[in-house]
Chains A and B, each alone.
Chain A
């Protein structure tokens, strides 16, 4: 079992982080959309707490992922036979994904904290480093709503790109993220 990344393969830690976060993010994009259309009541208000808890865990995971890739750098993309614009598109999609994996939960946290309500991760109250103010509340949630739409688009592009490589080019791009 190889935990670390190699020059041309993904180690177990990176692959686990990738799929756990992929599942989590796609799930949260759906969950958040349901949440924003839900009629809240005493019976379902706990769903907000669950959304915040899972979202903050995803924020912790992206930080762990960035740290891990400093310790154990991931392999370079497979580019043989790929049009340069597609290589560039893939690189920018990945950069944007990382930026949004940070910005989306951060915006949700900022908006939530600005209402003056304690932000908790599965019952544990976090210290609040953000201002409690109506402007930050509005700004945070506006950013959360807009950036999640962008994230949906980039995730769709990312999945399409991976499938295109797997089904059309049949290079190892998808396979090496699935198994060693």
Chain B
């Protein structure tokens, strides 16, 4: 695993925006698959199941002048999900939980983004198992250590959130596996415009 050394950027959000020409304030980013992951964890009795899910597509537009005009849309590949012990991956992808054969993607689309101190609050619609529910993620934005505050070409977004899998009908093994699934999404993004 690569050691990350990033500086929080959101605090500088407005300062950065002021230094940029207005037209350049909204930028589109592409996800770098290599440094990005969607990690989840869920209780399993006294233990914890952890795992990852690959990102299929992402559409990221960040408006440094007006956070509210930013948007995020991400699709995840359920069929490629991996969990921390042999049968958990299959159990999770099977019909009792995510039913990957029927619903191969999980998607998230932001509906409102607001600044909240050093973080951003991303409200959006999360679709799991074909069921869409409003969900809130917390975002922190970092730039690589040593880069100049004006250089927004390469950034790292860390998104934290949680969901109740019962909200989406993914109730399999609810006697063994917890209902709350914690998510940590690490996205290394590179500007395309």
CA distance A114 to B94 in the complex (A): 8
Name the residue in A114, A116, A137 with the highest tally of chain B Cβ atoms < 10 Å from its Cβ. Answer: A116
CA distance A42 to B88 in the complex (A): 10
Known: A40-B45, A116-B93. 18 other contacts (CB 8 A): A40-B44, A42-B45, A45-B85, A114-B95, A115-B90, A115-B91, A115-B94, A115-B96, A115-B172, A116-B91, A116-B96, A116-B101, A117-B90, A117-B91, A132-B94, A132-B95, A134-B96, A137-B95
Q: Interface size bucket, B side?
A: 10 to 19
CB nearest to A44 among chain B residues: B45
Q: How far is the CA of A116 from the CA of B89 in the complex (A)?
A: 10
Q: Is there contact, CB below 8 Å, between A42 and B44? A: yes
Cβ contacts under 8 Å, B93 to chain A: 116
In angstroms, Cα B91 to Cα A90, docked, is 43
Bound-state Cα–Cα, A134 to B99, Å: 9
| A interface list, Cβ under 8 A from B | 39-42, 45, 114-118, 132-134, 137
Known: A40-B176, A114-B95. A132 touches B45 (CB 8 A): no
Indicate whether B46 reaches chain A with its CB closer than 8 angstroms: yes
**In the assembled complex, which residues on chain A have CB atoms less than 8 Å from the CB atom of B101?**
116, 132
Which residues of chain A come closer than 8 Å to B91, judged between CB atoms? Answer: 115-117
Secondary structure at chain A's binding surface: helix, strand, loop or mixed?
loop
A116 to B92, CA, bound (A): 9
What residues on B are CB-neighbors of A41 within 8 Å? Answer: 44-47
* A–B complex contacts, Cβ < 8 Å, 29 sampled: A39-B45, A39-B176, A40-B44, A40-B45, A40-B176, A41-B44, A41-B45, A41-B46, A42-B44, A42-B47, A42-B85, A45-B85, A114-B95, A115-B90, A115-B91, A115-B94, A115-B95, A116-B91, A116-B93, A116-B96, A116-B101, A117-B90, A118-B87, A118-B90, A132-B94, A133-B95, A134-B96, A134-B99, A137-B96
Tell me the smallest distance from the CB of B131 to a CB of chain A, in Å. 15
Q: How far is the CA of A134 from the CA of B46 in the complex (A)?
A: 27
Q: Which residues of B contact A45 (CB under 8 A)?
A: 85, 87
Interface centre among B46, B87, B91, B172 (most CB of A within 10 A): B87
Q: Which residues of B contact A39 (CB under 8 A)?
A: 45, 176
